[in-house]
Each structure stands twice: as C-alpha cells, then as structure tokens.
Amino acid sequence: MKDIRQKLDEGIRYQAASDSEKKLINSNYKKPETIWSVYYIARCFGGYVEFNGKANRPEFWYFALFIFILNIIALIIDVNVYKVENGLGPITGVLGLFTILPYFAVTSRRLHDTGRSGWWQLIGFTGIGLIPLIIWLASEGSTKSPIKKSANKTSSDNNASKLRELNQLYKEGVLTKKEFTEAKKKYL
C-alpha cells in the first residue's frame, strides 16, 4: 500500500512540475500541442505556495476565471441556502481561505514572467494600483529575469545550477534514483 501511495505522490508531483522541470527529468519531454484550461488550474493548485518561477498568461487568467466562477457559485449558495444578505457567507469564506494562497502565488509568478517582483501585487490594495497591476498581468511575458545575473557566467556554473536543481527534485521525491542518476550523467 505504501508503494502505491508513493507512486501516486510521484505522479502528482510530476504533473505539478513546470515544463522546464519535466524537461530535466525526461529529455524527450515535449510540451503538449493543445493545453486544456484544466492543466493550468491543476498547475496552480499543484504549486499552491510556490512563489518562485514564472506563470504564463493562460495559466494566470484561466486560474483567475476559475476562482471567479467558484466565487459566483459560492455566493449563489450563500444567498439561497444560508440567506446571507451581504454576500459574505460561510461558503464564500471557506472558499476564500482555500484559494487565497494559490491566487497570490500564481500572481507572483505571473509578475515574475513580466520581469517584476511578486511584491508588486500589493499595490492592488491601494485601489488605484489595480490599474497598472491589471495591465502588467495582461501584458506579454518577457524572457528576462528580474534577478540580475553576472555576464561572466561559465558553462560549469550553469551545469552546477542544473545539478543543484536535479538534486532538489530528487530530495523532493519528484525524481526516482534511476531518473536522477541518468539526468546527472548528462551534466557531468
């Protein structure tokens, strides 16, 4: 039974991994041609407290749409079942508790994709800050990283960072021992 749970957990972690992480695990991995909205929603819930990395536009906007639809359904249930007048009932409260962290995480990753720090999402609390925030979230992602890298980085430094990333994936249980050793051979 433990073996089945471990295999299932590895599969779930693999599905929640980003495309670059999957490429590290399996060199033959290719991004699917057609990606369903459920894929992006699952990635957001899979990395619900992962504030590092990048999220593309579809990943963010499908997740935002999903949360919006869930909130409308929860509001309808609260009004009709619990007779709530102001719109904040038990169902919307519980839904808010379950979705606040994934939403902040995917917003932070989306801002990273546009070349900004994830802390910029806090300007949305000012009210007027929602305008630039929505513009940034809707803008096309950039290839540059908000973290500045030195220009004299060698390939050995790059290999070292890839090996550290592989080691981290192995420690988290995303990679099996066999996959780890095969992927490690490529960078040594």
pLDDT tens for 123-140 read 999 999 999 999 999 999
Instruction: Show the domain range for 86.
Output: 32-142
Does residue 159 sit within a domain?
A: no
pLDDT in tens, the chain (188 residues): 566 556 555 655 555 566 676 677 777 777 767 778 888 898 888 888 889 889 999 999 999 999 999 999 999 999 999 999 887 899 999 999 999 999 999 999 999 999 999 999 999 999 999 999 999 999 998 755 444 444 444 556 677 778 888 887 777 777 788 888 888 888 77
CB-count exposure of residue 153 (10 Å: 0-12, 13-18, 19+): exposed
**Distances in whole angstroms, Cα of residue 67 to Cα of each of 38, 47, 63, 70, 79:** 12, 16, 6, 5, 18
Does residue 12 sit within a domain?
A: no
Quick one: pLDDT at residue 17? 61
Closest CA to 70 of 97, 36, 49, 46: 97
Please answer whether residues 95 and 33 qualify as being in contact, where contact means their C-beta atoms are separated by less than 8 angstroms.
no
Residue labelled with tokens 């925030």:
133
The proportion of the chain whose per-residue pLDDT surpasses 70, expressed as a percent, equals 79
Quick one: pLDDT at residue 174? 75
Determine the Cα angle at 100 with ends 99 and 104, to 5°: 120
Does residue 79 sit within a domain?
A: yes
Q: Structurally, how many domains does the chain consist of?
A: 1
Does residue 133 sit within a domain?
A: yes
Does residue 98 sit within a domain?
A: yes
Please answer whether residues 58 and 40 qualify as being in contact, where contact means their C-beta atoms are separated by less than 8 angstroms.
yes
**Residue 43 and residue 41: Cα distance in Å, rounded?**
5
- Count of C-beta atoms within a 10 Å radius of residue 17: 21
Does residue 155 sit within a domain?
A: no
Does residue 126 sit within a domain?
A: yes
pLDDT, one tens digit per residue, over 73-101 is 999 999 999 999 887 899 999 999 999 99
Does residue 122 sit within a domain?
A: yes
Closest CA to 70 of 34, 45, 95: 95
